[in-house]
A and B are shown apart, each in its own frame.
Chain A
Amino acid sequence: RKEVEQDPGPFNVPEGATVAFNCTYSNSASQSFFWYRQDCRKEPKLLMSVYSSGNEDGRFTAQLNRASQYISLLIRDSKLSDSATYLCVVHDYTGGFKTIFGAGTRLFVKA
């Protein structure tokens, strides 16, 4: 089992739709969680950190479910500009620092 797993997609949604991605992680001791977006041939850019209580930034909501060991990203009112690959990132600090990226979920938003 991979340490961090994401559905590769692609998710094809119309503008205005709500879409959600999940990311599962295998180490229950993982401590920090993030979502990044990566446009084609560009570097990843931080979208948001994921806090235990859940957090929201405009149209984006991130949640953490420690019991089931997954994080989620919800995008409301999708825009064409949301088309990208979304990467989840998990940090472990036990036994030394470790940062693990998921392989990403591709999203296409269509007019």
Chain B
Amino acid sequence: DVKVTQSSRYLVKRTGEKVFLECVQDMDHENMFWYRQDPGLGLRLIYFSYDVKMKEKGDIPEGYSVSREKKERFSLILESASTNQTSMYLCASSTRTSGRAYEQYFGPGTRLTVT
């Protein structure tokens, strides 16, 4: 069974703080993704990574950065948290193996509140 874990289920931070969200997967997947999910807007891709040290911007990268130093770990960084970054953050991973390519497996999510 694929397991994707995220460092926190709930997080409360103050405006201007630097925030780190960690994601770890145990299936040796090449691809990892960070999304945010907001009511009425669905899931929106922030960044994804297809290999160690590689990253690509998604639809809404502004205000975020990412780091992938090891294959199993993908971190999302909010350089200076703002109230409009209050959201549910979901990490996912997927293989690139033919036949299963891009079937994404999600972590439980981190509900971040910025006050």
Q: A104, B42: Cβ atoms under 8 Å?
A: yes
Do A42 and B108 touch (CB < 8 A)? yes
Cβ-closest chain A residue relative to B40:
A103
Chain A residues closer than 8 Å to B104, beta-carbon distance: 34, 44, 46, 89, 99
Q: Interface of chain A, helix or strand or loop or mixed?
A: strand
Interface size on A, residues (CB 8 A): 19
Q: Bound complex: CA of A34 vs CA of B73, how far in Å?
A: 25
Interface contact B42-A87, CB-CB below 8 Å = yes
**Most chain-B Cβ atoms within 10 A of its Cβ — which of A49, A96, A97, A99?**
A99
User: CA–CA, A96 to B43, complex, Å?
Assistant: 19
B74 at the interface (CB under 8 A from A): no
Report chain B residues within 8 Å CB of A96.
Answer: 56
Q: A97 to B48, Cβ gap below 8 A?
A: yes
Q: Which 10 A-B pairs have the closest CB atoms?
A: A43-B106, A103-B42, A101-B43, A101-B42, A44-B106, A46-B103, A43-B109, A43-B108, A99-B45, A91-B102
* Given A44-B43, A103-B41, 16 additional A-B pairs, CB 8 A: A32-B102, A43-B90, A44-B90, A45-B106, A46-B103, A49-B103, A87-B43, A91-B102, A97-B48, A99-B33, A99-B45, A99-B58, A99-B104, A101-B42, A101-B43, A104-B42
- What are 15 residue pairs bridging A and B, where the CB atoms are less than 8 Å apart in the complex? A34-B102, A34-B103, A42-B108, A43-B90, A43-B107, A45-B106, A46-B103, A49-B103, A87-B42, A91-B102, A99-B45, A99-B58, A99-B102, A103-B40, A104-B42
